[in-house]
A and B are shown apart, each in its own frame.
Chain A
Amino acid sequence: MVAMEKQIHTDVLVVGGGIAGIQSALDMADQGFKVIIVERQSSIGGQMIALSKVFPTLDCASCITTPKMSAAAHHPNIQLMVNTEVNQIETIGAGQQVTVTRKATYVDPEKCIGCRLCEYACEIEYPDPFELGLGAIRAIAIPFTNAIPQKAVLNPDYCTTCGLCARACPTDAIDYAQEPQTFTIHADTVIVASGFALNSLNVKPQYNAAQSKNVISPLTMERLLAPHAPYGRVLRPSDGKIPTSIAFVQCAGSRDETIGVPYCSRVCCMYAIKQAMLLSGALPMADITIYYMDIRAFGKGYEQFYQNAKAMGINFVRGKVARIESAPNDDMLLHVELTEEAVDPCRQQRHDLVVLAQGMLPQWNVSEHSSLQRESDGFVASPDVINPSATNLPGIFSAGTASGPKDIVDTITESGAAAMAARRYLHQQKGDKNPDLSTDKAAVHLVQRDAGEIRDGQTVQAGL
């Protein structure tokens, strides 16, 4: 089947369906504009939906994220395009022409009712990406419990096309021959909320993360601590042992010119403190040590959160970890200079689980897909001092960690500001033709000019 190019119009296109993209989309939709969220993953929710609890309120992350995800999914002005990558953003006249490709999921999302019968029938399992490999998922599955949309996705890397899922599916939604499809979306304005990635656990070879399964990413710790955790408790990866001495190595991928990340990643101090607090609840007997250079507890309520953690008995040790070596029983030996110790400051400390505070990098290189400029840190440039969410291109705005490391509180605020900036831009472009008070804005605002049909408030369907 030849991929068909389809033309779509919208007021706002949001790149990325994480918390920033969702918040910007909601704020635009609440102002009466039609929004499409383009998300490369199979569900919106971004990195936040996989977190355990969030500082400084210790709300469970799902409790904050799911209602916003759900509000976006149910908003009459918002459409979700998941499994979809943005290829190119090009300014044409006053608007933006965005080409996107919907990846083949081998399931017709129009037909899939999310019943999971395919998942139950499938006999192939592989390491679950949502659980960062801590659990297994079937080769065809709903991505995770609270995914939105609840549509099965088939992973061709593991599928043997045995046909069990196709036979189990009550709606005949499985399509082994599905092809990627490309769309052209004409958007009056674009908000880039493409988020962050973490640099590699192995970025500092002296930490030997490749040699030990027990040197883990903070995101893995988030999964271990989540209320619906893969093991239901905190166990270390190598042997399933309950850890008794846990180390957090701060600035393991940031504030370090030797690895090209001289900047602060802004969230690591606070999530380490939070994880330490949650761990001390989950493992009351465990020793928990945070090795740090500076504790950057700067936000509202953060310093108090840090002081509470100290009062709970978490060890805060000032010192940069120089080297991590393997020790017997899958443990690790940390070589660290304890800068506050007068006697014999160079020590070797043994721990049985180590969390490396990896640095934040941009998830998406905007320069490869648009004329957007980046700063030397690789994140989207913000050239306007009085409009931080503006980019170098009129009509394109950035929100959240696309323009630098940020915590969730600051991301949500900035996403609102990005929506306001986009709103002003639309007002400038369209004058008084704003959607206010015309509650009955043409229902079929989103016109697909080619074959097929796109319905308001639903995931855009590309399968035929």
Chain B
Amino acid sequence: MNTINNSQHDHQEPRIGVYICRCGGNISDVVDVERVAEVSRHIPGVVVAKVHTFCCSDPGQNTISQDIQAEKLDRVVVASCSPFLHELTFRGAVQRGGLNPYLYEHANIREQGSWAHKHDPAGATAKSIRMIAAAVGKLQYSTPLDQIRLPNHRKALVIGGGIAGMKVAADLAGRGIPVLLVESSGRLGGRLNQWNRVFPTDTPAGQLVTKLLAQLDANPLVEILLNCKVTAVTGFVGSFQVTIEGPLGPSGAMTTTQTTIGAIVMATGFKPYVPDDGEFLYKKDPGVVTMPEFIDLMRGQPTGTGELVYKGRTIRSVAFLHCVGSRQIDGVHTPRADGKINTYCSRVCCTTTLQQAIAAKERFPSLQVYDLHQDIRTYGRGHEDYYVRAGKAGVVFFRYHGDEIPRVTPADGKRPAEPSLHITFKDYLTWGEELTLDVDMLVLAVGLMAGDIPDLINMFKLPVGEDRFIQEIHPKLRPVEISVNGVLLAGTVQGPMNIEETLNAAGAAAVKASAMFLKDVVELNPYVAQVDTDLCQGSGACVTQCEYDGAIAMVETQVNGKTVRQAKVNPGLCVGCGACVAVCPTRAINLNGWRLDQYDAMVDGLTAEIPEVAAATS
């Protein structure tokens, strides 16, 4: 049995503090926290066990920091929520108390205790005690660890040259950080190049692109690569090795560039929903168009004709149908090829539709304009004005239910003067009456879908959400970060957003990148594999098992004058998954902070004979 090493205070026996959080009542409404504290005091090594209403609050954290000094604690357990929320918070508190932050363990007695066993208070209490016993056991074998410090290359890569990517690049370069902006098409501006005017200011979309382009052009720190793609990436936060391919030379021949990057911002945007052939007669009837197609059509209309003309036909009436490809309902809508439906709201379509409806009505006063919606979601600043203005301009509104999709059928008559489409639906502004509209044109207000970036998803191991967009760590705590360290999200790669929200998201991503470049090193958590060179026999099983390229490799080294092959870990690439630990035939690999002896101690803690646990369970 190991003894505790490297204890920061000079004690023979460990002095462990246990802090049990009520979480307001989230924990203490179910778990008998006072009892947990009482029992915890009897666990060997524990000298303090206290209950606090919010351990994460300032007074809660201060209690821990002060106890470390006053009680000469050398290790700390906090039993509270998921470590995902507050492990870092409490490491900070422990560090402020003067301890190595890794002499800390987190017991999740909320998600795995009070919430999981809401209807079994005694069982939840007993489980909480066991989890604390396991954490205490593990801590007995913990050693101080230091963060891994790696060089930080002061250069950012922005993937995607739409408005989000341009904004990130302008922000970062505007505060002194070299930026490489890679765009797969031949032009910056992304989807903005397709739009006409942006709400709520009705500023021409091109003006936004021009303004950002001017900022990028004026800044020598910005390097723009058009028609280029990121084709490979290795390395880790602070030093990513990125390969970019594209026709760089004047001849247009394919060129490959490699560069070292500190942080990467994904700004690859979205794609509009494309209806299936025949969905609302799309592609079956020439009068059915999507919103991007309608915007394009409006832009192409010659000025001053007084009539909207499309494919040689005069359009006298147009209906806008909201929520095409959004807010879909299981069992009502047909799944896409991947078996999923788009349950989410695309956020921008309502205001876009009203903006276009007004534009159509103002441009062609005799045009009859209808709007079929479920809810009008003009939530943003200035958006509600479009709704009011559309009503005043004479747009006629109808309201349908999401599970009663309007039916679109071709009109019988094929004479050019007749409307080509019938739209049949139940209108809930007139108490569910079934109505049929005859229109010349139907505009499908299509939603936003995640962009097609399978290569980037594979390359960066990007986390994909249920809605296919890239998933942030937490919408409030870490809204532009993902589980891949050093890779940030900007804009609609993350989900539907309008221009203003995209610009803000880009700014938020830029500020996180900016903070990463404050120091010339990056600091990573120390939970990586470590090879015991005395035990490693060079089987290579670990290298075969490892899923992270370059995280562990066989190297030649000198042992007692002989050249042998042994495993070596690259701490920047190792994610600490532990796969190598499991396959090593000589148990030569351990995970720092999660060593095998620590697991043994945790199991001992979980299964220990604690009379109080028996009493609590009985």
* A interface list, Cβ under 8 A from B: 27, 30-32, 54, 56-57, 59-60, 62-64, 66-67, 69-71, 73-74, 114, 145-146, 148-150, 226-229, 232, 255, 262-264, 266, 294-304, 307, 318, 339-342, 345, 375, 377, 379, 382, 385-389, 403-405, 408-410, 412-421, 423-424, 426-428, 432, 434-437, 439
Contact = CB atoms under 8 A, between A and B. Distances in A.
A345 B432 CA distance: 12
A331 to B, nearest CB: 28
Interface in B487-501: 494-496, 499-501
A405 to B, nearest CB: 8
Contact of B511 (A59, A375, A423): A423
Contact of A413 (B60, B211, B212, B501): B501
Given A31-B515, A148-B57, A413-B501, A340 B428 contact: yes
Nearest to B511: A420
A227 B500 CA distance: 35
Contact of B515 (A27, A296, A302, A388): A27
A232 B22 CA distance: 13
B431 A304 contact: no
B117 interface: no
B512 interface: yes
Interface of B: 23-26, 29, 53-54, 56-62, 81, 85-86, 89, 92, 96, 167, 171, 174-176, 198, 201, 203, 207-208, 211-212, 326-327, 329, 343-345, 347, 375-385, 388, 428-429, 431-433, 467, 469, 474-477, 479-480, 494-496, 499-501, 503-512, 514-515, 517-520
Nearest to B343: A304
B377 A296 contact: yes
A413 B212 CA distance: 20
A74 B96 contact: yes
A228 B24 contact: yes
Contacts of B467: 300
Given A262-B388, A307-B329, 17 more contacts: A66-B58, A145-B57, A264-B380, A294-B375, A297-B345, A298-B377, A303-B327, A340-B428, A342-B432, A385-B207, A385-B208, A386-B503, A387-B503, A404-B380, A409-B476, A416-B511, A420-B514
Contact of A342 (B61, B431, B519, B520): B431
B504 A67 contact: no
A339 B429 contact: yes
A300 B85 CA distance: 20
A436 B479 contact: no
B56 A70 contact: yes
16 contacts: A31-B515, A66-B58, A145-B53, A262-B388, A297-B377, A300-B344, A342-B432, A413-B501, A414-B507, A417-B510, A420-B171, A420-B507, A420-B514, A423-B511, A424-B171, A437-B519
Given A386-B211, A424-B171, A417 B504 contact: yes
Q: Which of B96, B385, B503, B515 is the most central at the interface, judged by chain A CB atoms within 10 Å of its CB? A: B515
B347 A60 contact: no
Contacts of B432: 340, 342
Given A30-B515, A294-B377, A70 B61 contact: yes
Nearest to B207: A385
A255 B514 contact: no
A386 B469 CA distance: 24
B518 A385 contact: no
A100 B11 CA distance: 50
A149 to B, nearest CB: 7
A436 B26 CA distance: 42
B96 to A, nearest CB: 7
A342 B208 CA distance: 48
B505 A31 contact: no
B507 A63 contact: no
A339 B428 contact: yes
Given A146-B58, A302-B345, A385-B203, A67 B511 contact: no
A145 B63 CA distance: 14
B243 to A, nearest CB: 28
A56 B474 CA distance: 11
A227 B175 contact: no
A297 B514 CA distance: 32
B176 A414 contact: no
B507 A417 contact: yes
A67 B56 contact: yes
10 nearest A-B pairs in the assembled complex, by CB-CB distance: A417-B507, A227-B24, A416-B508, A146-B57, A294-B375, A228-B24, A404-B381, A342-B431, A30-B515, A420-B511
